[in-house]
Amino acid sequence: MVDHTLEQCVPVSDVTVVTVSYRANMFYSHFTRFWPSVVIKHEAFLLNTGGSVKHQIPYLATLQPTAVMVLAADHIRDANLADALRRHQQQEHDVTVITSSPAAEHNQIILENGLATGYTPIGTPARDDAESSTGEYVFSWPVLASWVSGISVDVIGLGDGIIAPMIASRAFRIGTFRLRQWIDLGTPERLNEHAQRDR
């Protein structure tokens, strides 16, 4: 699963940073052998995605990026991530949420004229004017650095803790990039479940 994400993001990024916590030694060994260009950052505690991103702000600042793409290693996506980055830049978004078809089991991004105006809790019936958030994003660097640095807690989700308040503030241009296909696997076991179901 991790390799799938790296195969998609390494070719389109100047620097790829991977944060690890669970089974860190296993990942260190794998990345050192197969992905030597990847920068590995170890988190002593599980911080959720938002907390992990927050902890990497000082390091990212040394790279002086124009945009930062946040991806989940346990997702399978049918997408050209260069297209997501290109859309983010062409539309001059502050944040681009990578999305899929609207569904009740995911947070949904409510859209008006292509921009986010609302964020629904999980369990909300699928809406015709929304797309499901995959929990993956492209951020303009100044927006990410200033907004995340102002958050006082360390353990925080990126969606509920960061994206939802940004949308509610109405201070940012937040758009979407919709995937053709996306699966949030979570574990290798779920990959096998999907493979058996699709036979």
Q: For 66-75, write each residue's pLDDT tens digit.
A: 999 999 888 8
Predicted confidence at residue 187, as pLDDT, reads 52
The overall average pLDDT reported for the chain is 89
pLDDT value of position 48: 83
pLDDT higher at 187 or 144: 144
Q: If you ran DSSP here, which 8-state letter would residue 172 be given?
A: S
Which residues, 6 or more positions from 52, have their beta carbon under 8 angstroms from its beta carbon? 19, 43
47-197: CATH class: alpha beta
The per-residue pLDDT for range 132-164, each reduced to its tens digit, is: 999 999 999 999 999 887 887 777 888 998 999
Assign 87 a pLDDT band (cuts: 50, 70, 90). Answer: very high
Question: What is the token pair recorded at 1?
Answer: 């699963």
Helix or strand (DSSP H, E) at 114: none
Residue 104 makes CB contacts below 8 A (sequence gap 6+) with 122, 123, 124, 125, 126
pTM, entire model = 0.89
pLDDT at residue number 23:
78
Query: 169: which residues sit within 8 A by CB, 6+ positions away?
Result: none
- CA–CA gap between residue 52 and residue 197 (Å, rounded): 33
Domain spans of the chain?
A: 47-197
Bridge partners for 181 per DSSP: 78
DSSP 8-73: HHGGG-S--EEEE-TTHHHHHHHHHHH-TTSEEEE-SS--HHHHHHHHHHHHHHHH--SEEEE--T
195 CA to centre of own chain: 24
